[in-house]
């Protein structure tokens, strides 16, 4: 009987510690993996900035896989751009483009760079990069990423239309970009 008592104390004490440790966790809550946290941060980045920031702070970037590190770097760069720090955001986005093996992430980072360049009125560079971005479009299968790229293109063209001396060159570039995408789409469908 003496042996049962210490075991009971250990078991009850152990249960008490577990209850205290998990008291802050809702019943049935699952611990999210870093990949899940990244996806959740991405999904709330525009709708709930405070939650986005809290999630990003919870992620230990040293514990991420190379692909997750690239995703994390993209979200951090996006955050810098959202905060208006384009000087920091653009080089960070370019680094994601250069090192990521994920075509969709490269595309999203490229779309973000084009957007930031348009916001700071560096139109020539923005349109140059937009042409390369639209050339990537047939390889991108993620509908949200495709929508992001096309929305950035529409915004850039719309913003540039407000500058009267650029309207003719804009129309020529738009025609060239659309023609290039159509040719690539047609070539992709013939395979």
Q: What is the DSSP letter of 144?
A: H
Asked whether the predicted pLDDT for residue 138 surpasses 80, the reply is yes
d(CA 72, CA 59): 9
Q: What percent of the chain has pLDDT over 70?
A: 70
pTM of the model: 0.70
Contact 115, 152 (CB under 8 A): yes
- Please give the pLDDT value at position 111: 97
- Please give the pLDDT value at position 47: 94
Asked whether the predicted pLDDT for residue 146 surpasses 60, the reply is yes
- Please give the pLDDT value at position 160: 63
d(CA 62, CA 44): 23
Question: Model confidence at 134, in pLDDT bands (50, 70, 90)?
Answer: very high
- Give the CA distances from residue 53 to residues 13, 35, 50, 83, 105, in Å, rounded to whole numbers and listed in that order: 37, 16, 5, 12, 20
User: Residues 44, 107, 101, 63: what is their CA dihedral angle, to the nearest 10 degrees?
Assistant: -20
Asked whether the predicted pLDDT for residue 5 surpasses 90, the reply is no
d(CA 78, CA 90): 9
């Amino acid at each position: 009987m003496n042996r049962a008592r210490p075991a009971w104390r250990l078991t009850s004490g152990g249960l008490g510690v577990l209850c205290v440790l998990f008291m802050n966790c809702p019943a049935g809550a699952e611990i999210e993996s870093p990949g899940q946290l990244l996806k959740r941060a991405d999904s709330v980045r525009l709708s709930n900035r405070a939650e986005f920031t809290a999630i990003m702070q919870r992620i230990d970037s040293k514990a991420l896989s190379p692909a997750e590190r690239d995703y994390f770097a993209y979200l951090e760069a996006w955050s810098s751009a959202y905060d208006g720090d384009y000087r920091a955001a653009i080089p960070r986005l370019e680094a994601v483009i250069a090192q990521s093996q994920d075509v969709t992430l490269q595309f999203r980072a490229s779309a973000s760079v084009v957007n930031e360049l348009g916001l700071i009125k560096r139109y020539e560079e923005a349109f140059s990069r937009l042409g390369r971005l639209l050339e990537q479009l047939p390889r991108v299968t993620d509908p949200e990423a495709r929508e992001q790229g096309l929305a950035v293109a529409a915004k850039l063209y719309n913003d540039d239309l407000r500058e009267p001396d650029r309207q003719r060159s804009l129309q020529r570039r738009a025609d060239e970009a659309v023609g290039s995408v159509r040719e690539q789409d047609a070539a992709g469908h013939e395979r």
